[in-house]
Amino acid sequence: MTGHAVGDRQPLTLRIDPHVHTSASYDGVTAPEELLEQARAVGLDGVVVTDHDTVDGAVRVAELAADRDLTVIVGCEVSTADGHLLAIGVDAAPAPGRPLAETARTVRAAGGVAVVPHPFQRSRHGARGAAIDDVDGVEVYNAHAVTNVRNRQAERFATGHDYPQFGGSDAHRPGNVGRAVTEVRLPAAATPTADAILESMRAGRTAAVGRRTTTWQYLTKVIGNAKRKTPSLL
């Protein structure tokens, strides 16, 4: 956490990783306890747990973090008809398979924040530009990328369409948590609660910061996913 104490009535800047997975995701291996340990080890102020189409992992992490100096926000990564969408700050996973813009409105109606992760990365179910509409932000720096081409494309798109910009690790393994984060600026005298973080995200008081996953880490995940999706012949 940077800035001054709340009592000094100065703005705060929090380091939040809004895109992390646990073993509740089909392609995740991080136990809830490991996620919390790594988040604290790398100096994060908070995380949003965004498992695929479920909030079960996020709820478990939030329960474990109840007495820790780390804000955990429940969320999920929704499989929409147009690509993935982060539903940040929701109590239940929105139904998959619906249009992205419609899903984003559902997220907002539930009090959440709708952010498009890894746009343009079609091999990873990233949304096309034409499908991105009525959202609260765009992930312009996804750490889980071999090159930075799509991140730069996402940044140009977000800037051109005046969308708030987010950074996320997209971590599926403990060691990648916090490799990219969103710096969330809270107003003076705001208490760094989940509600205050969500409100600042909606208001666009965000900035993306991070570094990419190494090529070896990326390939390890790709190979692991292929093994999970390929049925055994034995």
Which pLDDT tens digit goes with each residue over 126-166? 999 999 999 999 999 999 887 889 999 999 999 999 999 99
The average pLDDT across 25-53 equals 97
Q: What is the pLDDT of residues 184-195, one digit of tens each?
A: 999 988 999 999
**CA–CA gap between residue 218 and residue 144 (Å, rounded):** 7
pLDDT given for residue 8 in this prediction: 57
**CA–CA gap between residue 102 and residue 233 (Å, rounded):** 40
Residue 153's CB is within 10 A of a number of other CB atoms, namely 16
Instruction: Give CA separation, 220 vs 78, 173, 223, in Å.
Output: 24, 10, 5
pLDDT interval class at 23 (50, 70, 90):
very high
CA atoms within 13 A of residue 8's CA, in its CB half-sphere = 7
The interaxial angle of helices 56-64 and 32-41, nearest 10 deg, is 60
Tell me which architecture the domain covering 6-226 has in CATH. Answer: Alpha-Beta Barrel (3.20)
Q: What is the pLDDT of residues 208-232, one digit of tens each?
A: 998 765 444 444 544 454 444 444 4
Q: Is the Cβ–Cβ distance between 178 and 17 less than 8 Å? A: yes
* Domain residue ranges of the chain, discontinuous segments joined by +: 6-226
Residue 113 has pLDDT above 90, yes or no: yes
pLDDT interval class at 234 (50, 70, 90):
very low
Residue 10 has pLDDT above 80, yes or no: no
The average pLDDT across 198-211 equals 95
pLDDT given for residue 230 in this prediction: 46
**CA–CA gap between residue 22 and residue 76 (Å, rounded):** 11
Instruction: Give buried/exposed letters for 77-94 (b at 16+ CB in 10 A, else e).
Output: bbbbebbbbbbbbbeebb
pTM (2 decimals)? Answer: 0.87
The candidate with the shortest Cα–Cα distance to 150, out of 78, 98, 218, is 218
DSSP element (H, E) containing 210: strand 206-210
Q: What is the pLDDT of residues 51-98, one digit of tens each?
A: 999 999 999 999 999 888 999 999 999 999 999 999 999 999 999 999
Residue 11's CB is within 10 A of a number of other CB atoms, namely 16
Q: Is the Cβ–Cβ distance between 57 and 22 less than 8 Å? A: yes
Show the tokens assigned to 55.
């909030």
pLDDT given for residue 132 in this prediction: 98
